[in-house]
Structures are given as C-alpha cells and as structure tokens.
Amino acid sequence: MTQMQFPKSFYWGVSTSAYQIEGASEEDGRGASIWDVFSHQPGKVVGGDTGDIACDSYHRVEEDLDLLDTLGVGMYRFSIAWPRIIPDGSGEINRLGLAYYDQLVDGLLAKGILPLCTLYHWDLPQSLQEKGGWANRQTAFAFEHYAGIVFEHFRGRIMHWITINEPWCVSFLSYALGQHAPGLTDLQAALEAAHHTLLAHGLGVKLFRAMNMPGQIGIAPNTEWFEPETDSIDDREAALRRNEFITDWFIAPVLKGIYPARVIEKYNQGGYTVPIKDGDFELISLPIDFLGINYYTGGRVRSTPGEGILELQETFTPMDKTDFHWNIYPDGFYHVLTDLKEKFGNIPIYITENGACFIDPIVDGQVQDKRRIAYLESHLDALHRSVQAGVNVQGYMCWSLMDNFEWSFGYCKPFGLVHVDFQTLIRTPKASFSWYQRVIRHHGLE
C-alpha cells in the first residue's frame, strides 16, 4: 500500500442524497418529486425500482448516525428534499419536513460531525415540473425562495452549503439524453435547464450573502477528464471540447462569468441558443467560498466525422472498468484538479463525490469489496499528488455511505461502503468501511 499523508485539518467524510436513501416518500406531508413520478413510469428504472422505501433512512436516523460515528468521519454530505420542505415547490412550508432534518443535523452536531448540506440533488417538486421544470426560468426563483427558508431555519447549525449537485445531470442527462427525470430528449430545453440551474445557484449565493449567513457556500459540478486518442489536431480538439462540454460548461460561468466558446459555437451551429438575460452572468459568477468536485471517470476520445453535439465519443484504448462500466482513470482526477487550478485559480475545493460501483456478494455476513478499496486507494493517490502540486483541497467525501437507489439503475448498482439488504434493510459494513476508518484515523494511507 502506498504511503500518503493529508493535512490534519483535512475533512474526511461520506456523501448521500435524499431521494437515494430516505424513502418515506408519502410521509409527513412530503410532496411528490419528479423522481417519484419518473420511477413509477414503466420501463424508466431497471427492475421497476423506485425510491419509495430506498434505505429507509427517514426512519433510521439514529442507526445511520451511529454508522457515521463508527466510521469516524468529520463531515457528512447529505441533501435536503425540496418537496419535504415545500410540498408544491413554492407555497406552504411543511414543518414536519424541517423537523426530520433537525433530527439529522442536531444528531450530527452532537457527534461532532459537520453537516455539508446540498440544497438540490435532483428531487424537483413535481408541481414545478408541470410548469416546465428547470426549462422554466421561474424555477430558479422558486429555488431561491426554498433556499431562503432552509438557510434561516439552519442558520448557525449548518456551516457548509452546496446549491446544486451536478447541474450537467440536472439538465443534459435529464432533458436531452432522457435518462433521468423528467426524461426528455430536447436539447434546446436542456440548454435552458442548464442555464436556469446556474441562475438558481447564483440567486442562492446572492441570498446567502444578503441574509448574512454564517458559513460557506459553493456548487458541486460533475467533472470528467478526457485525453485525445492520438496527437492529431482533430482528436486534441475533440478532447478539449469533451472536457469543456461536461466540466467547464458549469465551472467557467461560475468562476469566470462565461460559457466555453468552443462549445457554445457547436450549439449555435446546430441552431441551439442559451437563454442568457442581462445580469445573469453577474449573478452566476458571484464569488463562492469553495468548489465541490464530483469525479468518477474519464478516458480517451477520438474525433468522429460528422460527430453530433451530444455524441459522447468512445474510448478506443481499453481501460479497466467498474461494474457500472465506467473507466477507472485516477490520473484523470489529478488532471481535472490541476487543470482547474491553472484555468480558474486556486479556489478551495472539497471533493464532494468520488467512489465506485462494484457488485460483491455478502458471504457469512461479510462483503470483501477489494476492487472498491483499490479504486479508492488509486484516487486518493491522485488526490494526494494534486495537493502536492498545490491544489487547495480541503476535504474528501466518498460516495457513498451505503448502497442506495442508483437512479435509473435502481438497486442493482451499489456504491456503498455499507451493504444494504433491500429486503430487510439491514446494514452491513463492507471491508472498504474498515479500510476507510483506517484512512480517516491516520489522515491518509500508511
């Protein structure tokens, strides 16, 4: 095992999200979200799975807090379900929804674990979807209203906030590629949704400052890293475009107040436009306190003749893959982080998600998930190299605390450090859980 030490002040944690673990989808006044509706439509989720029960964390707060305590994390990233707080998206506040998160947040604080709260991790209230969802500019203002309620309620208790998780998935994956709720295949709507999630982020940051909120706020885009398959100009251009298409499309507006020119040109050539209004970039690029980075994969790309705007080029050089068929590419993690520093300056960074899907059986009460440990070790090594190269990384949140509802793949793609039996809901820590315990205890690998 490689030896590596992270600073003592470094935050170690794990991530989850509301719809993926909570269940209790109709309890205590919670409204319907787009994922309730989408997952109940035949054929949308593998095996017809839904998040109705998920890991049942809504009823198992104490048990899950004990798991976090045993793991030894200093930070826990979770998300708040907007439809629990405002069931119809913009009207009445549901006090019982807030009470659930009171129990969670107070429980974390009592154990000395810092809450890192995501305001939006994909569970848009269905009533807002019926008015166009993120393709409707008004949704950004509804988000601002929801954020204000949550900020005030948790003032001084939650000190680390994330506005939006993975805006690329909120927009392109959901409105153009149709794989996530609401399941549309309309690129123009996706560009609108993408811009409006960024606007919602900006409005959230503006309000956070206007309310004099103590603490820090940021956003958590997904990132990937692609290298050109050959040294040809076309392949190099394709790799740059691919990196900008996913990663920079959301980071450049937030940190620089612009969209990447190469990608916008591609969209415009195809007759698509981004609905930018005067003043939008001023809001979107308001200074944030940290950037959240979610990194899982990357690869090598080749320019494809006649390549469409959304065609994601294949990797030609074979790479090892996780059981989600994602390339295992730890060097890409290093490149994402060092490239960010080069392009956008040395903003504080939290790794808000990194982890892997591996399907390992439970045998005699144990899950020997050696491949997950190897994946995590190689990514911590890349992270450590980026810290040594001067990238300002403050913490690392592993995805995920436990196996959970993996969106359109349902329960068949486990990412957890803890195995969950979805029949009995029994939690069983895997070998990676003990491995991560040691990492946390030793501030790295020894």
Catalytic residues: 166, 353
CB of 355 to ligand IFM, least distance (A): 7
Task: Give 232-289 as a DSSP string.
Answer: SHHHHHHHHHHHIIIIIHHHHHHHHS---HHHHHHHHHTT------TTHHHHHTS--S
Q: Which is nearer to ligand IFM, 17 or 432 (CB)?
A: 17
Residue whose C-alpha is closest to residue 161's, from 105, 118, 101, 113: 118
Q: Rounded to whole angstroms, how far apart are CA atoms 73 and 68?
A: 6
Q: Rounded to whole angstroms, how far apart are CA atoms 419 and 364?
A: 13
CB of 221 to ligand IFM, least distance (A): 11
Q: Rounded to whole angstroms, how far apart are CA atoms 149 and 412?
A: 36
CB of 122 to ligand IFM, least distance (A): 7
Cβ(165)–Cβ(79) under 8 Å? Answer: yes
CB of 427 to ligand IFM, least distance (A): 18
Helical pair 330-344 and 249-256, crossing angle rounded to 10 deg: 30
Dihedral (CA of 431, 436, 438, 439) sign: positive
Q: Which is nearer to ligand IFM, 203 or 401 (CB)?
A: 401
The residue type found at 384 is H
Q: Which is nearer to ligand IFM, 8 or 325 (CB)?
A: 325
Q: Which is nearer to ligand IFM, 246 or 264 (CB)?
A: 246
CB of 166 to ligand IFM, least distance (A): 5
Q: Rounded to whole angstroms, how far apart are CA atoms 442 and 409?
A: 35
Cβ(30)–Cβ(92) under 8 Å? Answer: no
Beta-carbon contacts of residue 36 (< 8 Å; ≥ 6 apart): 25, 50, 51, 52, 126
Q: Which is nearer to ligand IFM, 180 or 300 (CB)?
A: 180
CB of 246 to ligand IFM, least distance (A): 13
Helix residue ranges per DSSP H, 178-248 = 187-210, 233-243
Q: Which is nearer to ligand IFM, 6 or 122 (CB)?
A: 122
Cβ(126)–Cβ(34) under 8 Å? Answer: yes
Q: Rounded to whole angstroms, how far apart are CA atoms 309 and 315?
A: 17
Q: Which residues bind ligand IFM (CB under 6 A)?
A: 17, 20, 166, 294, 353, 399, 406, 415
Q: Which is nearer to ligand IFM, 162 or 445 (CB)?
A: 162
**Residue 199 CA to chain centroid, in angstroms?**
18
- Residue 345: count other Cβ atoms within 10 Å of its Cβ: 10
DSSP 364: T
CB of 141 to ligand IFM, least distance (A): 25
Q: Which is nearer to ligand IFM, 85 or 170 (CB)?
A: 170
Q: Rounded to whole angstroms, how far apart are CA atoms 427 and 95?
A: 29
CB of 375 to ligand IFM, least distance (A): 13
